Structure 1
């Protein structure tokens, strides 16, 4: 995967698209977790949200750069 992608003439880092995709996936996971009541059993929901996002972003970033 190239390090930079041209979007309308502006160079953007390729991890920006991985970041946006990770945000969308995290939003979906967060929505499902709230719907099924997972947050009632979690001590600190914002910390769980951050941890899930970091795990998704790192996994997708490593997969995209290989």
Structure 2
């Protein structure tokens, strides 16, 4: 289980970059690092948790 705070969010079932970050390049570096973790559940500061294939959802975002 990974609590991402404002790094990631959920919108309409999709994992998206957090919208409250001002440095987009640093945000994407952080997301790339997090996507290397083998997690089953993502919990966000905003949006519903992703409880199935959470690691895959993060890797899809950085691809």
Q: Do Structure 1 and Structure 2 share a fold, with TM-score over 0.5?
A: no
Question: Which of 1 and 2 has greater Rg?
Answer: 1
Structure that is richer in helix per residue:
1
TM-score of the aligned structures, taking structure 1 as reference length: 0.28
